[in-house]
Homo-oligomer: A and B are copies of this chain.
Amino acid sequence: MKSYTEYLTFTLPARMAFKNITPTIEEIVAKSGVQEGLLLCNAMHITASVFINDDEPGLLADYARWLEDLAPFDASPERYAHNRTGEDNADAHHKRQIMGREVVVAITQGKLDFGPWEQIFYGEFDGRRPKRVLVKVLGE
């Protein structure tokens, strides 16, 4: 059994933003030498997501507006009890639950075993600072 671990750091320039990280993950799969296995990719911060969907700018804009409807940014401590701690990012903790923390992807014949439109995104909901993503490959 082989295992391989890498940590990525992203500093996205906006509070909410999405970045396609698929090319980086493909490089990690190649470096791992794993032919058949599973890959875990997760946000290590609790106001960010890793998810799989379509790399289409309109869709990403739709997600941003929808998430803002479901869990609006509001720095005041009235709407979110979490913001009584001095934080202003309670909304980001909610947005992350909708979009998810992690993806698990099959590796088959040395490659991400993806459907035609699957792309891995880092989703940031409290950005403008460096945050980490973990990638772990297990297999042989």
Which chain A residues have a beta carbon within 8 Å of chain B's beta carbons?
Answer: 1, 3, 5, 36-38, 40, 42-46, 51-54, 56-59, 61-63, 66, 70-71, 80-85, 90, 93-94, 96-106, 108, 113-118, 132, 134, 136, 138-140
- Residue among A62, A85, A96, A118 with max Cβ neighbours from chain B (10 Å): A62
Count of identical protomers in the assembly: 3
Contacts A5-B113, A62-B81, A81-B62 given; does A98 touch B97 at CB 8 Å: yes
Partner among B71, B132, B138 whose Cβ is within 8 Å of the Cβ of A38? B138
* B106 engages A82 (CB within 8 Å): no
B residues less than 8 Å from A134 (CB atoms): 106, 113, 115
Using known A-B contacts A66-B94, A93-B53, A139-B1, determine if residue A58 contacts B84 with beta carbons closer than 8 Å.
yes
